[in-house]
Amino acid sequence: MNIALAQLNYIIGDIEGNTTKILAEVDAAKAANVDLVVFSELAICGYPPKDLLDYPSFIERCELALDTIRIASNEIGVLVGSPSLSGLAKGKKLYNSAFFFSDQKLLAKVNKTLLPTYDIFDEYRYFETNNVFECVDFKGERIAVTICEDLWNLDNEKLYHVTPMDELIKQNPTVMINLSGSPYSYNHVEKRRTRMQLNAKTYSLPLFYVNQVGGNTDLLFDGGSMFINRLGDIVEECEFYNEDFKVIQWDSSTLYEDNHQEYYDYDIGLIHDALVMGVRDYFSKVGFKNAVLGSSGGIDSAVVHAIAAEALGAENVKAITMPSKYSSSGSVDDAQKLAQNLGSPFSIIPIKKAFDAFEETLADEFIGTEPNVTEENLQARSRGIILMAYSNKFGNMVLNTSNKSESAVGYSTLYGDMCGGLSVIGDLYKEQVYELARFINRYGEVIPYEIVNKEPSAELRPDQKDIDSLPPYPVLDKILFHYIEGKKGWQEIVDLNLEGADEILIRKIIRMVDRNEYKRFQAPPTLRISHKAFGFGRSMPIVARYNH
């Protein structure tokens, strides 16, 4: 049997556009003499559709699209994901389903059993759980069809009381197929592969796994669809971050050899490619072509500028440096050199007049007070106003340049440097930003070496350095990682004996993270590259009193 893995980039809600792409792949599969072409989870509507599923008209349009695909399934099998009505008097109104069409007929409809509700997932909000397990007979093979999470309940990581393949294996299937919507994080690539390989070995069955690719707001889908033999070897694998169509000439009697590329849990190249794809898809899917950012001459804005230039074309990324009286001439020169290296348009707009106007406006109210962080924030907010004005006038989306370390501890200004339509590096700690800069420079200087090597500074007061307000970033990032990703309390982190981090510092940093939740709640969408990004995946109360 010839089976095609159709790894596509869908737009959530664009049912007609997604259907057109699916039909084109069906035609390609027919031309390649494919017996069965497989698409990903909820391919019809895009994943995740969230509360669009609450609209009856949305489901009706999915049903119309499915009927179009059914008609196109003459002389071929098509396996595609879509929401479907449950028809239940009690319980949820929808299933997360896989539709199996062949010869213009519905051969089977398989519903998803395991509905994740952790981290970024909230599927039980919308879908009913499947409790019927039946294999699908097609072309002399018996196929165990599952959907994404259905293959993750294995070994010592069981979150559910039922394991779908334990039920399906009783019907003696000859092959497994999994339709997936599995987003990228830097620790997930190998984990996903390992889990799928474990399924193949556990049930001694080959596995065809189809994931989607592309950026959907904050979620980045890396693809990596694959064919795994019954011994758990990855025989074929689709490209990462690109649409792909791969035909597997499969014979159940043949054992195919391992032929996949190795990646590691943490690969800065994959992080780079994920961010480039995320920016490109965010802009194209919301209808923007041009970006603008504040280019300070520092590492964060430099990395964002380089990523955006690669994603959108350097000519479509406007860089504006906005020096204050505290900005060094070197920072302005470095920002200009970066724009020249990339080939981006560049402007210098000093903020002195704007800042002076704010000080004059507030002078009567501030009589008798000493300058403090208020005046620092006025500078950042002056820059935010300039960027948003440029955005309004010319239609360029503002890119936010805050990193995860700053966002975590509130070392950023609400309505100032936190403004923007998309946070590009908001899920990268400061040390990761430096690592990404070095990767960008792997073939030569793109980001000026002066930027990479200079000591970090907000330049909002005389001789200011980040280290005046924060511990060194290697220390800070480790504390933050163990608290945010590791979900450890202060005592557990103290017990790790991190170099340069005593109990007083650790407790201080945790308090800073907790009390700045209100800022992050108002931040722009952040491209997710870790397993615990700020945003929907880390849902914390703003008003709370808990001592970690």
Q: Is 5 helix (H, G, I), strand (E, B) or coil?
A: strand
Count of alpha carbons within 13 angstroms of residue 483, beta-carbon side: 27
Residue with tokens 């990395």: 303
- Of 135, 148, 238, 419, which is the active-site residue? 148
Active site residue 238: no
Asked if 235 and 229 touch (Cβ cutoff 8 Å), the reply is: yes
The single residue of 25, 41, 128, 237 carrying the catalytic annotation is 41
Dist CA 309 CA 314 (whole Å): 4
Cα 407 from chain centroid (whole Å): 17
Structural element, H or E, at residue 194: helix 189-203
| Residues facing residue 518 across a β-bridge | none
DSSP conformation class of 468: G
Q: Count other C-beta atoms under 10 Å from residue 33's C-beta.
A: 11
Which position among 25, 45, 112, 419 bears the catalytic label?
Answer: 112
Query: How far is it, in rounded angstroms, from Cα 260 to Cα 35?
Result: 24
Tell me, yes or no, if 376 is annotated catalytic: no
94 forms beta bridges with: 85, 127
**What is the token pair recorded at 394?**
């010319």
Backbone dihedral angles phi then psi of residue 186, each to the nearest 5 degrees: -65, -15
- Check residue 33 and give left, alpha or beta (phi > 0: left; psi -120 to 50: alpha): left
Write a three-state SS string for 318-370: EEEECCCCCCCHHHHHHHHHHHHHHCCCEEECCCHHHHHHHHHHHCCCCCCCC
Smallest CA-to-CA distance from 302 within 328, 270, 334 is with: 334
The 3-class secondary structure across 495-542, one letter per residue, is CCCCCCCCHHHHHHHHHHHHHCHHHHHCCCCECCCCCCCCECCECCCC
Give the Cβ contact number of residue 545 at 10 Å. Answer: 6
Write the secondary structure of 226-281 as one string of H (helix), E (strand) and C (coil). Answer: EEECCCCCEEEECCECCCEEEEEECCCCCCCCCCCCCCCCCCHHHHHHHHHHHHHH
* Residues noted as catalytic: 41, 112, 148
